[in-house]
Structure 1
Amino acid sequence: MTAVHNEIGLNELCSTLKELKNYSVIRYIPNHGNAGDGLIAAAAWQLFDRLGLLSSIQVNGEISPGDVVIFSGGGNFIPEYSQARNVIEKSLQQNVSKFILLPHSIRGNEDILQKLDKRFYLFCREKESYEHAQKYATNANVFLTHDLVFGLDLVQLNQRLNINWLRLQLLLHPRLLKAYLNWRQALLKIKPKSDGTMTLMRVDVEAKQAGKYPSELDISSKHSSYYSQRFEADLIAREFLATLDQADHIISDRLHVSIASALLGKKLTMFDNSYGKNRNVFLNSMDGRFDNLEFKTD
């Protein structure tokens, strides 16, 4: 698995997280998501590790007054989903001391954005989200940054732990083991065509052309988890990347299939999702930075 040189940085996010080193407890609330979110989770765990925050991280649990709360990155703070909104509402109710939203897409939710104050740090992974948050969260700290997966160190992910050791950890978590075995079975069906092309299109609520593509090739939909265990995030991310690495040319409207393909140096044909996050992330983080990448509107 070979990664291309990636110059995309997360400087503002790293600076904000470094300020948490004096806190003995940091409540990290992962976002329940698909296999693409597993890449985000693996990148988050790597970031916490690099910044020396692992010993302070407590996953999940009840939000209490005065807590420092980090909510994971993704596309959860939009009207179609409720988890990010619920966590932010709970943080407001409990009067937390600081809240950090890792790089996200943000749409709608104007009412709760208007309630946020200087304790809230919103990291937006594309310009439309940034402008929306700036307009409505006028008292919060709003930053334009990049999706966390752009900061994923593929070499470290591949070398950190022996994959067989990772799999052994699953024996201690029967629910995760069952889901993992289903994931492995699903991956067996995802192979490139004879010309090296792999078409991986979404079939869920964010699909622009629902019903057009076979569901068995929507790799991201084949696993879901909170990724509260680092070993699971690493394992799913590594196998996600290994599956993509079989192909020479990847065609997808899945954001994290597209990002991962770019990081692997694949030829990539990228399409938009239903509400424009792919196009916006492409413009903010990918256009002109990666070779062999084409964004198509139709």
Structure 2
Amino acid sequence: MFGDKQINTLNDLSGDITVFCREKVSYNFVKRNFLKGNVYLWHDCAFYNIFKQIPDGLGILNTFREDKESIIDNVPEDNNDLSYSGYATKPLDELVNILKEYKEIHTDRLHIAICGALLGKDVKLFPNSYYKNKAVFEYSLSRFLNVSFLEENND
């Protein structure tokens, strides 16, 4: 997420600077406001993981945020916010082992959605409190037939 503070920081740096943006909203903002260096639109680095397709799991994994980026009014009772539970700091294999157990993943966590997409899971991605999820869906995840973006929350 880019704003004036981040642009000022970039513009104050010296040397050759290259910025990669993973969606068009940030890319357009940085391209207009970054006074030096190069700006590229590029898929999130998580897309460069290669996973074997795995057999369908069972059931639905609800893994919604429980922080300030969440806009979900009613988090499901069986919610398991994997990223918040420490999986963001563990080896990727541990996250994959959890996700592979399920047939479908409902989330507003971008990297959970990306991992689920790459594993061939049915993924329903929900919006977060700003443009990130929708913008990355439009630029990258929309090419996956197993991923859909739901504009409304999961009431």
TM-score interval (norm. to shorter): 0.7 to 0.9
1:208 aligns with 2:71: yes
Within 5 A, what are the aligned runs for 1:79-228? 105-109=1-5, 110-116=7-13, 119-154=16-51, 196-209=59-72, 212-213=75-76, 217-223=80-86
Deviates more, 1:215-224 or 1:245-254: 215-224
Residue 125 of structure 2: which of 263, 267, 270 is its match? 270
Q: Is the 8 A contact 2:47 2:114 kept in 1?
A: yes
- The answer for unaligned runs of 5 or more in structure 2 is none
Q: 1:108 to 1:201 in 2, by over 3 A?
A: farther
Q: 1:198 to 1:137 in 2, by over 3 A?
A: same
Q: Which structure features the higher share of helix residues? A: 1
> Structure 1 vs Structure 2: percent identity of aligned residues?
32
The structure that has the greater radius of gyration is: 1
1:247 aligns with 2:144: no
Within 5 A, what are the aligned runs for 1:61-80? none
Residue 294 of structure 1: which of 144, 148, 153 is its match? 148
Q: Is the 8 A contact 2:24 2:135 kept in 1?
A: yes
Q: 1:224 to 1:136 in 2, by over 3 A?
A: farther
Hey, what does 1:40 align to over in structure 2? none
Distance in 2 between residues matched to 1:281 and 1:107, nearest whole Å: 17
Q: Shift of residue 214 of structure 1? A: 5.3
Q: How many residues align?
A: 147
Distance in 2 between residues matched to 1:107 and 1:154, nearest whole Å: 34
Distance in 2 between residues matched to 1:241 and 1:139, nearest whole Å: 39
- The answer for unaligned runs of 5 or more in structure 1 is 1-104, 156-191, 228-232
Q: 1:107 to 1:152 in 2, by over 3 A?
A: farther
Q: Shift of residue 111 of structure 1? A: 2.1
Q: Is the 8 A contact 1:117 1:139 kept in 2?
A: no
- Runs of 4 or more, structure 1, over 4 Å off, are 213-216
Over the aligned positions, Cα root-mean-square deviation in angstroms equals 2.3
Q: Shift of residue 210 of structure 1? A: 6.3
Paired amino acid for 1:135: R
Q: 1:270 to 1:243 in 2, by over 3 A?
A: same
Residue 116 of structure 2: which of 258, 261, 266 is its match? 261
Distance in 2 between residues matched to 1:294 and 1:250, nearest whole Å: 11
Hey, what does 1:168 align to over in structure 2? none
Q: Shift of residue 267 of structure 1? A: 0.7
Q: Shift of residue 152 of structure 1? A: 1.0
Cα deviation code 1:171-195 (max 9, x no counterpart): xxxxxxxxxxxxxxxxxxxxx8xx6
Distance in 2 between residues matched to 1:106 and 1:215, nearest whole Å: 33
